[in-house]
Amino acid sequence: MVSIEQTEEKKKQKNTRLRIAIQGVAGAFHEIAARLCLKKEEVEIVPANTFTELVDMIERDDTVDGGLMAIENTIAGSLMKNYTLLQNSNLLIMGETFLRIKQNLMVLPGTKMEDLKAVHSHPIAIEQCLEFFKKYPKIKLVDSADTALSAKMVRDGQLTDVGAIASTLAADLYGMEILAEGIETNKKNHTRFLVLQHKKRAKQHPQSNKVSITFCLSHEVGNLHSVLAVLAAYQLNLTKIQSAPIIGKPWEYQFFVDFIMGGNIGFELGIDALRPITQKLQVLGIYPQGEHFEY
């Protein structure tokens, strides 16, 4: 379960809806994840064009209560730019959710496969469906900023020779007809989303059992081994470790680590034990483990 505190301004207005920022327009997979993750709340979606705009919106707009941001995909891997955005922000991770991504080819009602000259979608969505389009070599695949935005563009332009790859929610919202459902090559295609909120109003959930941290290590023998040994000694179950080179510091690396609390030893003691053997250690969030959803 995930909880998001409303802004003080919203509380004064007695507005019970949570305003949640997402990357993309209505019908995007981010919206589906947000509504499933915060299913016990009344949610109003606030669209952002880019992940940078999304983070900026949560930081600066007092009417936005929080946001959802994709962080990794089982096929495309980690979104390293989003890790950097999070690290350099005033946001904390308040929760996570996992969504099975199902890609669908959609068109204006009445358009047939043989009518299509082009199909638009986000480049990652297109990459996930390349095997399907090998059967249709005459169709041009065109990158766009967002899956749902592609469906909206086809609808708004009444394009009878262009299709889009997007969610079933986008098809419903924009009155599109699904020509082919579930066209992604790998059916075990899941995306992990982080629930984010500004540090100044974030309150840790009582059922929090997962921690995300980041730190730097120099390229010396045994450094990473020492970190892993501390995690093991304090019964902190490592669920992810991701490294990235530090620009301007050859052979030095930034690490992003997730672990689940275990045993009777407080995770704070483990983090304190890591500080002397790491550099610039930062806690990115303490939150409940996320649920997995199909849509």
- Please state, in angstroms and rounded to a whole number, the distance separating the CA atoms of residues 31 and 35: 6
Question: Does the CA dihedral 53-54-58-61 come out positive or negative?
Answer: positive
- Please report the pLDDT score of residue 7 as a whole number: 59
CB-side exposure of 271: number of CA atoms within 13 Å? 21
- Please report the pLDDT score of residue 251 as a whole number: 82
Q: Which residues pair with 199 in a beta bridge?
A: none
* Residuewise pLDDT in 10s, the chain (295 residues): 566 866 555 555 666 789 999 999 999 999 999 999 999 899 999 999 999 999 999 999 999 999 999 999 988 889 999 999 999 999 999 999 999 999 999 999 999 999 999 999 999 899 999 999 999 999 999 999 999 999 999 999 999 999 999 999 999 999 999 999 999 999 999 999 999 999 998 999 999 999 999 999 987 788 899 999 999 999 999 999 999 988 888 888 899 999 999 876 788 999 999 999 999 999 999 999 999 998 7
Please report the domains of the chain, with CATH numbers, ordered by start residue. Answer: 14-100+189-199 (3.40.190.10), 104-180 (3.40.190.10), 210-288 (3.30.70.260)
Which residues have C-beta within 8 Å of that of residue 26, sequence separation ≥ 6? Answer: 45, 47, 148, 170, 173
The closest alpha carbon to 83, from 287, 289, 293, 285, belongs to: 285
Tell how many helices (H) and how many strands (E) occur in the chain: 10, 16
Pairing outcome for strands 118-121 and 140-143: parallel
- Please report the pLDDT score of residue 12 as a whole number: 57
pTM score = 0.90
